[in-house]
Structure formats: C-alpha cells, structure tokens
Structure 1
Amino acid sequence: MSWLTEYVRPKIRTLFTRREVPDNLWHQCPNCQQMIFHTELAKSQKVCGNCGFHMRATAADRLSWTLDEGYSRIELPKAPADPLRFRDQKRYADRLREAREATTLEDALAVAHGTIDGHRAVVAAMAFEFMAGSMGAAVGEGIVAAARLAVLQDAPLVLYTTSGGARMQEGAISLMQMPRTVIATRLVKEAGLPFLVVLTDPTTGGVTASFAMLGDIQIAEPGALIGFAGARVIEQTVREKLPDGFQRAEYLLAHGILDMVVPRVEMKATLARLIGLLRDPFVDETPPMRLAAPDPVAPPPVETVQAPG
C-alpha cells in the first residue's frame, strides 16, 4: 500500500498535472479576430498578417522600429505634476503615478536621437498607453526639447503622433501647449531642417490642431483615425451624414490633407529616403565624365631642297 501511495500516485499526478501557460503567447486581431502568435506579431511590427490591420504600438516600439541600433533616449524636462490640484473620481496625482508605474514613462512622450539607415535624426514618439497620449505641460516641454536637440545636432525631427487631445486635468495649461509646440516646429524649420510627422491611430483634438499638421511632409499609417472633433459631434453640428471612411488616413490622402500613407513595415525605409532627399537634394552620384586625351599631333614633314649642280 505504501508504494502505491508514495511512489505510483505522485508519478501519475505529474503526468496529468496542467502546466501554467503564459497569457501573452497569442494575440487576437481587433479587426478580423484572427489569433496571432506573439513571435509572428513581433516580426510584423504588430500588423495582422491576415487583414493588414495596424494595431496600436507603444512609444518604445516606435523608437526601436525607426532608429538604428545604438540610439540614445534623452531625459525630458520636468513639469509641475499637478498644477491645478485636480480631482475627478480620483486625484490627478494618483492617475499620474499609476500611469508611470504601468508604462515606466514619465509622461506621454519619449524622445531619442540616433540614425535612420545611416541618416542622423531626432525621433519623438507619443505614448497612447500613458493616459491616452493626452497632451499636458510635460508633453509640450518634451516637444520643445526635441526641437532644440534637433537644431543642436543639425538633424531632422521625426514625430509620431497618437493622442486623444489636450489633457483635461490641466485645464488651460494643456491648451497653452498648442502654441508652444507650434513655436517648437518653427525652431526646426527656421534652422533649415526637415520636420516629418507620422500620424498614427488615433490622432485627435488639440494635437491635430497644432503641431501634428505642420510637418514638411505629412505621413500616416493605413487606417489611422485622424481628426479634431469626433464624427458624431460633426454630424450633429452640420446635420448631415458623413461619408464612409471619413477621418481615416486614406480619405484624408484622397482629399489632399496627407502626402502619403505608408505601411508600418515600410516606414523606416521611407523616412530614410525622404531625409536623404531633403538633406542632400543636389548630390549627383553619376561618375565624372573623363575626356579622351587628344591624339598627338604629328610634326610637319621636313622638305629637303637639293643644291644646284
């Protein structure tokens, strides 16, 4: 009896015991409901291989996908944490603390500098995972810092936008970031540097109404929602039914708001090509023409004159 209970039964239990499986091995596409293995999703840069749907990405993802290896993140200026001592269902200071613990970001922006396929660049990426990418004083300070860094390094500025708009917990202070970020874009342009904006899903509110629409070249990811007010608010205001695909990247491209819509896997190569064209537009890679040496001129024949007699 003892050998059954002490030896055989434990062996049987180990054969049929369920092993714990991580919850993040499979991801479901929000568009087509297809299950995607996490390694495949990482290789495709969070783009569904079945329907091409571009899932939302973090600010860290944007930086790693865009910049070459060896890039450096910068520490952004600090902003007042809770200038209005705002409180709704919970204190604004508590919301900030929870967002920082969940994302390891100080606020809804990350900035890094490095190279894009060998071209020097400063890249700023908004973080939708941090309070829906809302723009407060810290985001405004970060964009100004990114612009100054681009001028200092004589490098173009690439800015990924994703935001629900201004941060309501900071009131008028958040609205003041709209003109501040516009001035930041002017610093880059007055230095003769390219300012490239990549609009991702979603880009709305005060971000769209300020720096997001001031790029030298406006790029968007496929299917990105881009607009100022929501579609329902617009319909109630104009009292008309909006067309299909309204405020989507493809609709804006067809109506001249965007310059191009680029799939995510092609974004890095596209940015590198644009930076090369804007920074070195007159580089001629044609080898110099070599002129053939002239044929040596033969000396004139010497006439011999015979003496008389």
Structure 2
Amino acid sequence: MMFMTYLKERLSWILLFLLLQFLAVFIAYIDPEIPLTSILYYVFLSLIIFVIFLVIRYQKETKFYQELEEAEDILDFSNREFLSPFEKITGDSIARHFEGLKKTVTENERILDEEKDELLSWIHEVKTPLTALSLMIDRLEDQTLKKEMTYEWLRIHLLLDQQLHQRRIPFMENDLYIEQADLESVIFGEVKTLQSWCIQKGIGFDIDLQSTEVMTDAKWLAFIIRQLLTNAVKYSEASDILIISYQRNGRTTLEIADTGRGIDSRDLPRIFEKGFTSTVHHQDHAATGMGLYLARKAAHTLKIKIEVESAPGKGSTFKLTFPKSNDFVRITGM
C-alpha cells in the first residue's frame, strides 16, 4: 500500500524519465548517424538503474512518513538523523503544532476539572437545604399538599443525583469497589426512595429474588437500578412493577418489568443514546434522555449486560446480566 502511494507521489518523475528514454530512442531511430542498438542498450541499463534508485529512495523517504502514520504518542523529531531538508521542516512544524495542542488540551482539562469540582461542590451544598426541605414536608398536615411537594422534592433529588453521577462516570473506574453485593438490600433501598411517588401513582412492586448475591460495586449498581425504576414508575400508571432475579449459565440476571406505555420499535435501538427521548412522544418535556444513557455507561464499566424488550402499550422489560467473579480480574488487577 505504501509502495503504491510512493509511486503515485513520484509519478511525475517516473513519467519524465520514461519520456526522456523514449526521446533518446526516437532520435536514434530518425538519425542514422546514431546507432539504435547502443541507444537501446543504454535505455535498458538506465531502466535497471532507475528501478534500483526508486527502491532505495522508497526505503529512505517513506521511513519518515511511516513513523508519522504509526505515531500514537509524542512526535519528537529532534533526535532523528538523516532527515531531508523538507522532512526536517515538516517534522519541526508538526512538533510545534503538537506541543501547542498539548498545552491547549492540558488547559482545557484543567478548566473542566475546576468546573466539575465546582459543580460537585454545588450539588453537595444543595443537598443540605434539600434534606431540610424534606423534614419540613414531613411536618405538613395537608396530605394533598404533602404528596405534591414530596413528588416535586423527589424530582429535584433524582435530577441532582443524576447530575452527580454524570460528572463521576468519566472517572468511574478509579472509584470502583468490587465486592459481593446483596441485590435485595440494594433494590429495597431504591424502592423505598421512590415510595412516595409510587403511592401517589398507585404503583406497587412484585419482587421475587431467587438469586441475590452478585459481584459488583453496590453504589453504582444502585444508581443503575435507580434509573431503571425511575423510568418504570414515570411511564406507568396504577399497576405492579415486577422485579425478579435468577441464575442461568452461572450468571445472575435481574429483570425489571413494567406495564407502562412501552417503547416504539423504531426507538428501541436508540434509547441508550445520550439525550434521546422519543420520536413518538416528542413533546414529553419530563424526559431528559440521560437516565438510560448513564445507566448503560455505568453497566458497561461494571461488565453488566443491559438489554430491553418492549412494545407500545405492553410495557418494557429491562434485563441486567451480571458477570462472573473472574470477569473482574482486569478491572481490579487482582
């Protein structure tokens, strides 16, 4: 491939050489004073020498460009020997631009880190008045107002939680603590968080956990389940959400099934995309398109396979298939 590229690059030189050889033969042909046999012999030798010259120049000239093509890290040409003048100009220019880009990237990363830290600090600060607000809501005597305010409080709490985890996901592998986690306690903890919302909508839970021990990070697993349960409650009316777990082929599978509005078949391949809501319910302003996207990203890092089956009007079933213990060797380094 590189040799063909080199021939294309030097095509004008090759054509010029062939033209000069043809010109020599043509002059010898029309001028009887010049022996044609000697000219043909000269052309033959010239062709051999030219081919050898091309091969040698190919090895020398393409070495520089092959290094450029294969370079993955810092491009430093200061210690390279036998560079042609043009190659040296190219190398110096690339090195300068590369250093400039590195400085820009470093500065942008610093700014992003500062913004992330500021946002995380703000989220944690907001949680204090949010907790106080929850205690104030508990003291309300008007039950109708209490339910409405509890629902709005929960929405704010879930959105803040989503933002918090969204900022942490890029550095998730640094925060992992893989252990034997209890599915039952994680699920019941998340169900309790959504309890007031579920009571308001008349939604219950039918839980049947045949397999409860999984190797994972309990904190991030809780986040994934929180996104799936929030989706199930949000898009369901008075009904039961089914949560079951079982073992198959040595792996634990957790299913969360609702009987809500379901997902259109044309939307199914895109529901885990960032910011995607729905093509059918495009005016649904309650959806942010981030919950399932973040759940998928977290599940990928935890080596949890996440799948969905759904049909309009028949609800949705999300399946989490957990890895075996030895699948975490690469993550933990143990």
TM-score with structure 2 setting the length = 0.23
Higher share of residues assigned helix = 2
TM-score with structure 1 setting the length = 0.24
Q: Which structure's CA Rg is the greater one?
A: 2
